[in-house]
Amino acid sequence: MATPHGTARVPPHPSGSSPEAGEVPARDASVPPLVAVVGPTGTGKSDLGIAVAQRLGGEVVNADALQLYRGLDIGTAKLGPEERGGIPHHLLDVLEIAEEASVAAFQRDARRVVREIAGRGKVPVLVGGSGLYVRAVVDAIEFPGTDPEVRAAREEQLRTRGRVALLRELAEVDPESASRVKDDRRLVRALEVHDLTGRPFTSFMPQRRYVAPTVQIGLGMSREPLNERLARRVDIMLERGWLDEVRGLEAVGLRQSPTAGKALGYPQLLAVLDGSLSLPQARDETVAATRRFTKRQRTWFRADPRITWLDALDPGGWESVVERAVGLVRAQYDGAHD
């Protein structure tokens, strides 16, 4: 039977100067490139990441923002230790449910892990569908800091002065951000960044410039079979006890969590627990929300011309997908020796 993660498993295959803090070091002839396996939810990225790591002697680095959370297991299709094909996985289960995820903190931690893997002569394989989290690792992106007091002051101004007044203030110092903000959270954040740095929030927008040699592999699937797979995936998750997982997490603050509580399917199942949705309704809403999410993922990743796309349903079978992915990595690695 198909797993919630997508395609079938692939059998295991044998496998100078200090960088500045936070940087992925440039590769010399003895260090493999960074590999990123990206794409929409449900296509089989986890399986492909494991297969690539098995073939090339690598280790997997999680780049799914929700799999950072301890306890968000079934609903995020997190691989259990026995499902990881003997490959070390990093940055899973590093946050508690009540904590707020930070892409800046993830960037720091993931780049450190990538350095350590490369330092062992292994291939770092970044796997995930959280687009900004992937780019935070592979691209030259600077994240402005935060200050709880400054943010609280701006949130109070939002309550007392109103959205229109703050939007007008933002337009004076950062007209581009003012024209883009679609909700109060982003409005407050843009003002906070300007207060802290004196720079417009748009000046921190990511550039498509790798910080180290990188191979990005996109795993895609046409819409109709992916939609069918997503519906089946939700059904399998429910069969595996997803509602019980949510019930347990509710006891440790899932409803109040600023990040984990908004993960796909979790609000719907919380609604089942409080009686505002039936389980079939929650199932249907989760399937619909997941399909909308994959559409946004597809748009995000397709905008990056550096990604080479593979079809998860390649007519040659899963082994053909794996071989093509490995070939892409080897082509760049071998090219460094030319």
Q: Which residues contribute to the annotated binding site for ATP?
A: 39-46
Q: What is the dihedral of CA 235, 241, 243, 247, to 10 degrees?
A: -170
The answer to whether the beta carbons of residues 34 and 43 sit under 8 Å apart is: no
Per the document, the length of the chain is: 338
The answer to whether the beta carbons of residues 235 and 286 sit under 8 Å apart is: no
- List the structure tokens of 40: 């929409």
The answer to whether the beta carbons of residues 68 and 106 sit under 8 Å apart is: yes
The answer to whether the beta carbons of residues 315 and 44 sit under 8 Å apart is: no
- List the structure tokens of 277: 């949705």
Q: Residues near 3 by Cβ (< 8 Å), separated by ≥ 6?
A: 9, 47, 83, 236
The answer to whether the beta carbons of residues 66 and 133 sit under 8 Å apart is: no
Q: Which residues are annotated as a binding site?
A: 39-46
The answer to whether the beta carbons of residues 41 and 129 sit under 8 Å apart is: yes
**Of 129, 108, 151, nearest in space to 20 by CA:** 108
Q: Which residues are annotated as a binding site for substrate?
A: 41-46
**What backbone phi and psi angles, to 5 degrees, belong to 227?**
-60, -40
In angstroms, the Cα distances linking 152 to 159, 189, 249, 261 are: 11, 11, 28, 22
The CA-to-CA distance between both ends of the chain, in Å, stands at 44
